[in-house]
Amino acid sequence: MLIAGNWKMFKGAHEARMFSTRIRNLPSRVHGVDVVVCPPFASLQGALQGLGSDSAVHVYAQSVHWELEGAFTGEVSAPMLLEIGVTGAIVGHSERRQLFAETDETVRRRAEAALEAGLAVIACVGETEAEREAGETEAVLSRQVSFVPRHERLVIAYEPVWAIGTGRTASPETVQEAHAFVRTLHQAPILYGGSVKPENAGAILALADVDGALVGGASLDPTSFEAICVAAGEAVAA
C-alpha cells in the first residue's frame, strides 16, 4: 500500500522541513504502508532535512524532465533529483496536462527517463468530466495507459479530473470499476487520486483493486495525512 502526498505549489522550504519533522516516524506506526511526500522543487531539500537520514518516508518530485541536462529553462533532471536524495517523481498529473500542455508522449518520455535513471515513478491517468459524460472513460484510460512504460518501480495513479481539488469524490463503485479496468491494461500497482480525505479514505482503500492513494489537499495537514496513512494500514491488516 502506498500513500503519496502531493503538495502542489504549497509549503516553502521552512514549512516543508517542519512538516517532515512531524511525520518522520509515521511509517513505524502504519505497517505495510509506504509513505511519500511530493513537495515543490524549491522545498525538496527542506523536506529531506526534516526527515533526516533514517526516516522511511520517501521524497518525490512533482515532475522530472526527460533529458539529463540542457537548455530547458525551468525544468529539473533525474540526476539532479537523485543527487539531493529524492527517490521518485510524479509524471502526467492532470494539472500538468491541462495547464502546462503535457501530452501522453511527454509523459512517456519523462517516465522512461526517470526510471532509467533510477527514480520511482507515479504516472497519472484519468478522464475529464466531459469525457466521462460522453462515455469515453475507458477509451481515454486505454490511450493514456498505453503510453505508460512497464517497470517494477512504476505505479499508476487513477485520478478522475472532475474529482481533483473539487471536493467531489468518485463513488467506491466508480473507483473500483476504473481501477479494475486499468488493471486489465497494466499490472502496476494503482493508486486512487481525487479528493481523498480521512472521511472517505477507509472505504476507498478497502477496495479490491486500490493499492493506495495520491492525496492532494488533505496531505497539506499532518493530522489529516497521518489519518489517511492509518486508514491504509488498517486496509492492509484487514
Through-space distance between the first and last CA atoms of the chain, rounded to whole angstroms = 12
Going by C-alpha positions, the residue among 63, 69, 61, 65 that lies closest to residue 43 is 61
Known active-site residue 31: no
| Residue 210 near residue 183 (C-beta atoms within 8 A) | no
Q: Which of 102, 112, 127, 159 is catalytic?
A: 159
CA distance 5 to 58: 10
Known active-site residue 151: no
Q: Which of 58, 65, 93, 186 is catalytic?
A: 93
CA distance 126 to 200: 19
Locate 216 and state its grid cell: 492532494
Going by C-alpha positions, the residue among 223, 210, 149 that lies closest to residue 185 is 149
Distance of CA 52 to the CA centre of its chain: 22
Please identify every residue annotated as catalytic. 93, 159
